[in-house]
């Protein structure tokens, strides 16, 4: 039985909440782990993160800096850079090689991809400029801060009204903008029943002044005042590395998601994925849990391999 020579037990691609949580578990299991991160976590645009126990209202980058500092206790290296490609290394046991943008190469026995996603916003003037401040996605992340304020919800193509109903829990002043689309009767009844205003005229832009959202401008020139705008993004998972390695995907709501089991195993032996690269859930605690669980599964997988190799070595 041969096994590829590798520098690392595990390479973790992506050092956000999911990747660093996995690295913490791996470091504490005396695994030699390398985290490679290009420093664009999804919530970097937000001033504070919320709903994270023990860290509520903390700047998101402070959490990641604290996580990196904790890893220095263990045999974990964190390197800045972007993984440009990945390949399988031949052998009886799984093995991986990654190439960074810089041309640097690393090999490992197992690999975890925790590269997150990019939020693609509707093409509405003024929206992207305010993203993470006056334009937000997630009522659990940013809803409390605008309780009792004037909230505009711009519908996604699916005309899903749930985001508006969630915000109605926090304020009585919610306007649901269909952006020119006609609302189905049932959705209209449900919104009206809870006192949510419906605006079916086309949206022309988001108005802001002094860095703060002032409202929604409609195509006919009407200005509808609002203090914050909620939108639904289209998630674009940063999964090129997983696709290089031919991990199986499934199309869901127009997005190709890499399939993983509850422990983050992909369809490729030895290859794991966690966090927003495999699901759009907008939650740091969930990303941490999925990374931590993947770290535990990877260590168990390596122990299985260590046992096999030890038994084979005895002859
Ligand atoms: C505006 C906004 C506000 C939010 N607020 C909250 C909040 O208040 N509370 C909350 O719980 N959640 C919040 N979220 C959700 C939160 O951002 C995500 O749930 C969380 O960041 C997911 O963690 P992750 O580790 O999966 O991905 P990320 O945090 O995105 O980390 C992925 C990392 O991988 C790196 N990477 C990607 N590709 C490569 C590559 N090829 N090579 C090397 N590195 C790579 C990225 O640069 C990044 O550093 C918010 C999201 C947004 C958009």
- Quickly state the pLDDT bin for 1 (edges 50, 70, 90): very low
Q: Three-state DSSP class for 73?
A: coil
How far is it, in rounded angstroms, from Cα 259 to Cα 253? 14
Q: Torsion over CA of 249, 255, 260 and 266, rounded to 10 degrees?
A: 40
Q: Quick one: pLDDT at residue 163?
A: 95
4 touches 91 (CB < 8 A): yes
Q: If you measure from the C-alpha of residue 310 to the centroid of ligand 1, how many angstroms do you get, rounded to a whole number?
A: 39
> Which atom of ligand 1 lies nearest, measured to the CA of 40?
47
pLDDT above 90: residue 157? no
What element of type H or E holds 34? strand 33-37
**E strand intervals along 148-278:** 151-154, 174-177, 197-199, 203-209, 212-218, 223-225, 228-230, 234-237, 249-252, 255-258, 271-273
Q: Quick one: pLDDT at residue 315?
A: 84
Count of CB atoms within 10 A of residue 252's CB? 11
- Taking only the tens place, the pLDDT of each residue in 86-103 is 999 999 999 999 999 999
Q: In sequence order, what are the residues at sequence separation of 6 or more whose Cβ sits closer than 8 angstroms to the Cβ of residue 287? A: 16, 17, 18, 21, 114, 274, 275, 276, 281
pLDDT above 90: residue 151? yes
**Please, what are the domains in the chain?**
8-119+234-314 (3.50.50.60), 122-230 (3.50.50.60)
Q: If you measure from the C-alpha of residue 276 to the centroid of ligand 1, how many angstroms do you get, rounded to a whole number?
A: 7
**E strand intervals along 42-183:** 76-80, 83-88, 96-100, 105-113, 117-120, 135-136, 151-154, 174-177
pLDDT above 80: residue 238? yes
Our mutation pick for probing the ligand 1 site, out of 38, 42, 98, counting the most ligand atoms within 8 A of Cβ, is 42
Our mutation pick for probing the ligand 1 site, out of 68, 116, 231, counting the most ligand atoms within 8 A of Cβ, is 116
Query: Where is pLDDT greater, at 298 or 253?
Result: 298
- Quickly state the pLDDT bin for 5 (edges 50, 70, 90): low
How far apart are the two ends of the chain, measured CA to CA in Å? 11
Give the binding-site residues of ligand 1, using a 6 Å CB cut-off: 13-19, 36-43, 45-46, 49-52, 82-83, 114-116, 119, 132, 136-138, 141, 238, 241, 275-276, 282-285, 287
> Which atom of ligand 1 lies nearest, measured to the CA of 19?
25
pLDDT above 90: residue 153? yes
- Taking only the tens place, the pLDDT of each residue in 184-235 is 999 999 999 999 999 999 999 999 999 899 999 999 999 999 999 999 999 9
Q: Quick one: pLDDT at residue 158?
A: 84
**Average of per-residue pLDDT across 152-159:** 91
Count of CB atoms within 10 A of residue 239's CB? 22
> Which atom of ligand 1 lies nearest, measured to the CA of 284?
11
Cα 10 versus chain centre, distance: 21
Our mutation pick for probing the ligand 1 site, out of 282, 289, 295, counting the most ligand atoms within 8 A of Cβ, is 282
Q: Quick one: pLDDT at residue 77?
A: 97
Our mutation pick for probing the ligand 1 site, out of 68, 105, 284, 294, counting the most ligand atoms within 8 A of Cβ, is 284
Give, as one character, the DSSP assignment of residue 5: -
User: Angle at which helices 17-28 and 60-71 pack, to 10 degrees?
Assistant: 20
Q: Three-state DSSP class for 8?
A: strand
**Average of per-residue pLDDT across 296-303:** 98
């Amino acid at each position: 039985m041969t096994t590829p020579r590798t520098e690392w037990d595990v390479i973790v691609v992506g050092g956000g909440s999911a990747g660093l949580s996995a690295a913490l578990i791996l470091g504490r299991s005396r695994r030699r782990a390398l985290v490679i991160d290009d420093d664009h976590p999804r919530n970097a645009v937000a001033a504070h993160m919320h709903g994270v126990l023990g860290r509520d209202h903390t700047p998101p980058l402070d959490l990641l800096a604290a996580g990196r500092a904790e890893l220095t206790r263990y045999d974990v290296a964190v390197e800045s850079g972007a993984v440009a490609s990945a390949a399988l290394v031949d052998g009886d046991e799984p093995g991986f090689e990654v190439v960074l943008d810089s041309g640097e190469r690393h090999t490992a026995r197992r690999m975890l991809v925790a590269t997150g996603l990019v939020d693609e916003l509707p093409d509405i003037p003024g929206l992207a400029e305010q993203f993470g401040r006056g334009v937000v996605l997630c009522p659990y992340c940013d809803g409390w801060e605008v309780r009792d304020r004037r909230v505009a919800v711009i519908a996604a193509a699916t005309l899903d009204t749930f985001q508006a109903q969630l915000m109605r829990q926090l304020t009585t002043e919610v306007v649901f903008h269909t952006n020119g689309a006609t609302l189905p009767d049932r959705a209209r009844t449900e919104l009206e029943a809870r006192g949510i205003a419906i605006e079916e005229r086309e949206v022309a832009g988001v108005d802001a002044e002094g860095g703060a959202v002032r409202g929604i401008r409609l195509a006919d020139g009407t200005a509808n005042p609002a203090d914050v705008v909620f939108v639904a993004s289209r998630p674009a998972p940063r999964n090129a590395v997983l696709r290089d390695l031919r991990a199986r995907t499934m199309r869901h709501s127009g997005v190709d998601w890499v399939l993983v089991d509850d422990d983050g195993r992909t369809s490729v032996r030895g290859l794991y994925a966690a966090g927003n690269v495999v699901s759009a859930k907008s939650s740091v605690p969930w990303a941490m849990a999925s990374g931590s669980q993947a770290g535990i599964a990877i260590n168990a997988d390596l122990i299985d391999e260590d046992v096999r190799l030890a038994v084979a070595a005895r002859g």
